[in-house]
Amino acid sequence: MDGWRASALLVSQLAGRPAPGTPPFLLACFCRSLSSPVPTGTCAPRSSRPDPEPEPESVFPREVRLFSDSYSESSRFCFCGHELSITQNFGSRLGVAARVWDAALSLCNFFESQNVDFRGKKVIELGAGTGIVGILAALQGGDVTITDLPLVLEQIQENVRANVPSGGRAKVCALSWGMDQHGFPGNYDLVLGADIVYLEPTFPLLLGTLQHLCGPHGTIYLASKMREEHGTESFFQHFLPQHFQLELAQRDEDVNVNIYRARHREGRPAGHHPSC
């Protein structure tokens, strides 16, 4: 692999969104918890973590300038009678976390076509990226927590401010799967995720996070591009069914996106209920 490609992939790993085709020797980068300052107005669960690791900027020197074409782009989307203005900050810092992916749009369309009721529901979105899915849930009446790795929170917060009226129930928090979930309540009514199933080493971490967050009578909605090379189907065939009743709620053939609905196989007592 040439030096540019290896460096670009490393940047994507450190941004929390590994690029497609990432070789095994770089996968370990993604599995680390990234620590960076949390933007004003966000929250992070308390935990007894070791000293934070250096930010990606200190690991990957700024002067390399692999992404000199970094830029921001604002796009408009309409769902459930709401016009959303979503900013995407493309470049090395966020990697593929910057983009609104097909799976997120498919999930928003699904909520609209199925008239999914968010009113008064306690909702959390995982790996939110731009935050578009959680923002729509908040506008539809949900009490929503939108999560991703620390580096991504500033972009999400920008989009929340642009779309959710003052007083709206949407907050932004850092959450690293397999590490931070116990700092969050275990009684969410709805757990949402769009295009977050694509790296096999994270599958057990994601499964454990879903197990904790989804309330005894809660529902999980996951929209995923079905990438054969990333083992996405394996997560839904072998991992989720271990603990959840799973059904294919919708298949979007045009963009190769499946939307799955999952619920706990057996009722479980609600867990610890800290506040994010």
Q: What is the pTM of this model?
A: 0.75
Give the whole-angstrom CA distance, residue 27 versus residue 41: 31
Q: How many residues does the chain have?
A: 276
Among 131, 97, 71, smallest CA distance to 19 is for 97
Q: List beta partners, residue 126.
A: 193
> Does the pLDDT of residue 66 top 60, yes or no?
no
Q: What is the pLDDT of residue 268?
A: 58
* Cα–Cα separations (whole angstroms), residue 236 to 1, 98, 221, 242: 31, 25, 12, 10
Q: DSSP character for 68?
A: T
Mind giving me the DSSP string for 211-240?
HHHEEEEEEEEEEEE--GGGTHHHIIIIIG
Tokens of 121: 């529901």
> Does the pLDDT of residue 35 top 50, yes or no?
no
Q: List beta partners, residue 145.
A: 124, 171
- Tokens 């096999």 sit at which residue? 200
> Are the C-beta atoms of 62 and 69 separated by less than 8 Å?
no
> Are the C-beta atoms of 100 and 19 separated by less than 8 Å?
no
Q: What is the pLDDT of residue 145?
A: 98
User: What are 219-266's pLDDT values in tens digits?
Assistant: 999 999 998 888 899 999 999 999 999 999 999 999 999 999 999 987
Give the whole-angstrom CA distance, residue 193 versus residue 183: 19
3-state secondary structure (DSSP) of residue 122? strand
Residue 99 carries which side chain, given as an amino acid letter?
A: R
Residue 235 carries which side chain, given as an amino acid letter?
A: F
* Cα-Cα-Cα-Cα dihedral sign, residues 214, 218, 220, 221: negative
Give the whole-angstrom CA distance, residue 108 versus residue 101: 11
> Are the C-beta atoms of 219 and 189 separated by less than 8 Å?
yes
Residue 123 carries which side chain, given as an amino acid letter?
A: V
- Distance in angstroms between the alpha carbons of the first and the last residue of the chain: 42
User: What are 145-171's pLDDT values in tens digits?
Assistant: 999 999 999 999 999 999 999 888 999
Residue 144 is inside which H or E element, if any?
Answer: strand 143-148
User: What are 104-145's pLDDT values in tens digits?
Assistant: 999 999 999 999 999 999 999 999 999 999 999 999 999 999
Lowest mean pLDDT: which of 68-72, 156-160, 206-210, 267-271? 267-271
> Does the pLDDT of residue 36 top 70, yes or no?
no
User: Which backbone phi and psi does 34 adopt, to 5 degrees?
Assistant: -95, 135
> Does the pLDDT of residue 199 top 60, yes or no?
yes
Task: Provide the pairing of β-strand 244-252 with 257-264.
Answer: antiparallel
- Tokens 């782009």 sit at which residue? 73
Give the whole-angstrom CA distance, residue 146 versus residue 231: 26
Mean pLDDT, residues 38-63 taken together = 43
Among 255, 270, 229, smallest CA distance to 18 is for 229
> Does the pLDDT of residue 51 top 90, yes or no?
no
Q: What is the pLDDT of residue 238?
A: 93
